[in-house]
Amino acid sequence: MLRLENISKAFGSLVVSNSVTLDVTAGQRHTIIGPNGAGKTTLINQIGGQLSPDSGKIFLHGQEITRLSAPLRARAGLARTFQKNTLFQALSVFENVRLGAQAAHGRTYDLFRSWRSDTGVLAQAEQAIEQMNLGRIAAQPVGKLSYGDLRQVEVAVALATSPTVLLLDEPTSGLSPSETAQMIDVLRALPREISILMIEHDMEVVFSIADHITVLYYGEVIASGAPRNVADDPRVQEVYLGAPQ
């Protein structure tokens, strides 16, 4: 579904991606972990098209997208959430999600366009609301939501674009334990037609969602595989626990 081939990126002398190669297969729940500053977000930014790699190639469904603009990548089936809040505070949850669906149809953010009859957009928005279990707050203005609900709305906006590959940057950061549990539940319930590549710090979240883990360390992949194998990897244990076990 998604392939990175020898992706490298440096900011001046700081190497943030060091020949990163990884594959996200169909239906996979692939989690990227690694210490702060390991280069996880900059990697997602290169996949999303917000940053250009210095070298290497990115493929989506076998098509090279390395130099494609972010909107065209989105059109091709790639959706992402951002760490910072990108929602319209005064608009309702449903309207925010509907704008996401509308953007995917190439009608970017035209609030005043008559959309009530646009069944494709509406159906996509409704499905995303349902997938994230947000029906109970669909009519509420985003500015009034709890942080946990906000984070779920962000994912719903991404889902409204009908992605085949969903990129999530720390979907549970800042959430309470009960909000985290709720996020895990909705993410686990997403259909396997959507492949997920997710950055996550919380190991409980990682092990309850991931079927594949890639460990980044100073921009380099030091391990990649099934959760159990990665957890048992001596190099990974050294990075996380500071000493070989």
Ligand X SMILES: Nc1ncnc2c1ncn2[C@@H]1O[C@H](COP(=O)(O)OP(=O)(O)OP(=O)(O)O)[C@@H](O)[C@H]1O
For the CB of residue 104, give the shortest distance to ligand X in the complex, in Å.
26
If the CB atoms of residues 20 and 129 are measured against Mg ion, the closer one turns out to be 20
Q: Which residues bind ligand X (CB under 6 A)?
A: 11, 14, 16, 34, 36-42
- What token pair was written down for 145? 């939501």
For the CB of residue 37, give the shortest distance to ligand X in the complex, in Å.
4
Instruction: Select the residue whose beta carbon is closest to Mg ion and give its number.
Output: 41
C-beta of residue 63 within 8 angstroms of C-beta of residue 26: no
For the CB of residue 65, give the shortest distance to ligand X in the complex, in Å.
20
Binding to Mg ion, residues 7-66 (CB under 5 A): 40-41
For the CB of residue 70, give the shortest distance to Mg ion in the complex, in Å.
18
Tell me which residue has tokens 């707050």: 137
If the CB atoms of residues 39 and 227 are measured against ligand X, the closer one turns out to be 39
**Neighbour count for residue 28 (Cβ, 10 Å):** 18
For the CB of residue 222, give the shortest distance to Mg ion in the complex, in Å.
17
Under the criterion CB under 5 A, does residue 81 sit at the interface with Mg ion?
Answer: no
For the CB of residue 44, give the shortest distance to Mg ion in the complex, in Å.
8
DSSP letters along the chain, please?
Answer: -EEEEEEEEEETTEEEEEEEEEEE-TT-EEEEE-STTSSHHHHHHHHHTSS--SEEEEEETTEE-TT--HHHHHHTTEEE--SS--S-TTSBHHHHHHHHHHHHTT-TT-TTS--TT-HHHHHHHHHHHHHTT-GGGTTSBGGGS-HHHHHHHHHHHHHTT--SEEEEE-TTTT--HHHHHHHHHHHHTS-TTSEEEEE---HHHHHHH-SEEEEEETTEEEEEE-HHHHHH-HHHHHHHHSS--
Residue 212 binding target from Mg ion, ligand X, none, CB below 5 to 8 Å by type: none
Binding site for Mg ion (CB under 5 A): 40-41
